[in-house]
Amino acid sequence: MPADPERFELPEELREFRTLVRKIAEERIAPRAAEIDETDEWPEDVYKVLVENELMSVGYPEEHGGSGGGSLAFGVLIEELSRVSAGVSLTPLVAKLGVIPLAVAGDTAKEAEMTRGICRGELLMSYALTEPGAGSDPASMTTRWRRDGDEIVLSGTKRFITGAGVSHAYVVFATSDPELRAKGVSAFLVMRDDPGVSFGRKEEKMGIRGSPTREVILDDARIPADRLIGEEGAGFRYAMRTLDYSRPAIAAQALGIAQGAFDVASRYATERRQFGRPIAEFEGIQFMLADMAMKLEAARLLVYRALALCDAGDPRMTYTSAVAKCFASDAAMAITTDAVQVLGGYGYMREYPVERMMRDAKITQIYEGTNQIQRVVIAREILRGIQASAG
């Protein structure tokens, strides 16, 4: 039963799916969450849990070996995993991010091959767009590509690449000429063991630990010419369209982090006693919990609607994806900060998970386009609609 983006109610089968994922997350992932954060080691054992329970196949077409469900089911998965461990949620999230450009480009053969590998637990993917000098302005990338007979040669460095080193396959964006900016960008499928591919040191991050972040270094890396994704010169368009699909997934991650923090804070407020009674009876705490709950409810509706519009291929995706990502991530930062405050001194200690959730929440305001960029996108879409109606 498809969801109606205009009058949203989560279908029964997705409510049942949420219950299943939550059980797995609480029993198999939550007990490892603090250790994963502390050691910052990629958790192979938890990845196997995702594969064994067929969670790595959620959101992919059945004809490519997936279990279906589309963007909405995938968003529910990411939300529930993020509720206990944002770092773990990045394993399926970034794999899907790697496949989206292949689907957007209509490169069905590569999409099917990569999807089957991901669903079977045989490979992982990463998305390599950001560079040291090209973050919010990806059209200014300097990673170059050129043809050499039947091969493509790639030279440059991609920075802050999630999953780098662990992932087997990378969607790499490169330009034929930096002067051409967006018009010169093409996309390529690069494998970890291709000649000339290496990785920088693992970054020491504030949050989303347990998910490796490294540079992808391309030193005259050689790949077969048929690894070009889609059309030559269309890479920037593929990258931007990918973000329309991936931003709601980041919003779902932010939503899950926020829900996890709210759960801890509200439960703690009923148990912690001061002045002879639970702190939940004090109006100051009640107002904080009420504000947190309102932000959660609003974020959830925005996120689910954006995911449903992705499944519908609705032309409003660019606008709704940016709105959902921006609002949900801002809400997550506010809610996790308030959760630390509700717990007081205990909230500042690693014995409780809210300080980790606060650290994890921050990145959702930054990656997949900073929230300042989201506001630019939102305003642009508003003004474009006004101009179109006036014309």
Active site residues per annotation: 368
Q: Which amino acid is at 322?
A: A
d(C-alpha 329, C-alpha 331), whole Å = 5
The string over 93-116, giving b where at least 16 C-beta atoms fall within 10 Å of a residue's C-beta and e elsewhere, is bbbbbbbbbbbbbebeebbbbbbb
By the 8 A CB rule, do 213 and 202 touch?
yes
Backbone angles phi, psi at 127, to 5 degrees: -120, 120
Using DSSP's 3-state secondary structure scheme, residue 208 falls into: coil
Using DSSP's 3-state secondary structure scheme, residue 42 falls into: coil
List the structure tokens of 386.
């006004």
Using DSSP's 3-state secondary structure scheme, residue 166 falls into: coil
Strands 169-175 and 125-128: parallel
* Other Cβ atoms within 10 Å of 178 Cβ, number: 15
Nearest to 247 by CA among 46, 27, 93, 391: 93
Backbone angles phi, psi at 134, to 5 degrees: -140, 90
The string over 28-55, giving b where at least 16 C-beta atoms fall within 10 Å of a residue's C-beta and e elsewhere, is bbbebbeebbeebebbeebbebbbeeeb
Task: Please compute, for residue 308, the number of CA atoms within 13 A of its CA located in the half-sphere on the CB side.
Answer: 18
The alpha-helical segments, DSSP class H, found in the chain are 12-24, 30-39, 44-52, 70-82, 86-104, 108-119, 235-271, 283-312, 317-343, 354-363, 371-390
d(C-alpha 73, C-alpha 79), whole Å = 10
Backbone angles phi, psi at 259, to 5 degrees: -65, -40
d(C-alpha 327, C-alpha 335), whole Å = 12
Which helix H or strand E contains 156, and what residues bound it? strand 151-162
List the structure tokens of 52.
């064994």
Backbone angles phi, psi at 205, to 5 degrees: -100, 160
* Other Cβ atoms within 10 Å of 133 Cβ, number: 11
